[in-house]
Amino acid sequence: MATNGIVKDLDFSSFHNVIDGKLVDTKSTRRGINPATNEELWPCPVSTPQDVDAAIQAARTAFKSWSKTTLQHRKAQLLAFSAAFTALRSEFGEVLTKEQGKATFFAEQEVDFGAYWLAGTCALEMPFEVVDDTPDMLVKTRYTPLGVAVGIVPWNFPIMLLCGKIAPAVMTGNCIIIKPSPFTPYCGIKIVELAQKFFPPGVIQVLSGDDNLGPWLTAHAGINKISFTGSTATGKRVMESASKNLVRVTLELGGNDPAIICSDVDIATVAPQIAAMAFMNAGQICIAIKRIYIHKDIYIQFRDAFVECVKAFKVGNGFEKDVFLGPVQNRLQYDRVKTFLDDVKSSGQKVATGGQVIDTNTSGLFIQPTVIDNPADDSKIVAEEPFGPVVPLLQWSEEDEVIARANDTDMGLGASVWSEDIDKALRIGESLEVGSVWINEHLGIKPTATFGGQKQSGIGREWGVDGLRGYCNTQTVFLNHRRS
């Protein structure tokens, strides 16, 4: 179908569930909130248990034929879907800025990432392993689709993380039901509506709703897989719910990611990078830099350069020119971030910059980017993940010491090490108890590279070949060549 036709077909002012290839209204609706203005957005569905049943039944029916399609066909449809999605970059970017709050540049960049995940996953091949191959016996392990998956998507990256669940699920021959966050439902609904032009009814569906919807889906006996991205606390509840039917789970949860800065770095080059990767998306990224360990020999110089970078960040409505930090996405998270600021004040910690909410005439949820100067390791801002624009700077002196301090957490999602000495950086990085380690960069992820956390930062893996395996059953085949 021509791209122009696709653009005309999608109405970005009307939002519905997508069940069995059809746009379905619900009796009740709710409205999201623009976090930059506090204005209500469009009505969106509030799903019922009957909607859940209908979507799961449609997916189970579609799975019978979709699971038998060829890998080449499934990849072709994903590639076409990606191209059509890219053609709607500005439309999706505008909606994303309204519902999530991020600046237009970053919103359109997220559309690009989503399209990249849809297409980039197609570079992978289905896993297949020959265990033994002799004249007498062939032993092979093949991977087959599970059935119906549920993708639970958070509010910080509602496009990219949605696409990162759709692509591996459908490429491996599964059907998937997307549940977007109640805070950011709009882009997810429209992406799935667009998907109907490329996939049979029931293969990709979306249900929007309130806080009841997640438990209804995760406890349903008709699903085979849950892919959840969100907080560790909610992930534990998802896992508990899934256990009732022994449903497979992949949990990508919180992080308290350290960046370790060695004494040999070029401060003028590295400080701006660290600042950007700590405060991007107002700090609302699971793998954003959350703790910054700076070698004592350069601490003061690095701190001062870092603070100057942070002071230069423009905070405001994502539609304004040159905005780097938008608002905190929702009132619940805004209030949580304020507890960190309250603790900093009550405990007498030193604030290098920021430390206040920003009063605006729009009632937006804005917080000044805040840097805490060398707080204690047991302080709230070091020990917990704020998931907002507040970060601590900390001094270190010995390798063993900083490794131990970086690992002293029940989270283990990502970490970075910054040094001109690559051997040293690798030595430190490979000692960190995290799922992803970056050397002289941070936030680098790819659809072809396995991603996931250690400790309480997750179970299972997204993306890469391991991510594909997570949507599959294994079957080991023993073929006896010998004649009886």
Residues classed as catalytic: 252
Burial degree of 377 (CB within 10 A; 0-12, 13-18, 19+):
exposed
> Quick one: CA dihedral 15, 17, 23, 29, positive or negative?
negative
> Which residues, including other chains, have CB under 8 Å from residue 434's CB and lie 6 or more apart?
257, 412, 413, 414, 415, 453, 454, 457
**Residue-by-residue DSSP string for 11-41:** -TT---EEETTEEE--S-EEEEE-TTT--EE
CB 111 within 8 A of CB 213: no
Rounded (5°) CA angle 383-389-390: 40
User: If we measure between CA atoms, which residue out of 123, 115, 121, 120 comes closest to residue 194?
Assistant: 115
CB 155 within 8 A of CB 35: no
User: How many residues would you count in the chain?
Assistant: 484
The amino acid that residue 58 corresponds to is A
Strand partners, 232: none
Strand partners, 143: 474
The amino acid that residue 473 corresponds to is N
Label residues 463-480 b or e (16+ Cβ within 10 Å = b). Answer: bbbbbbbbbbeeeeeeee
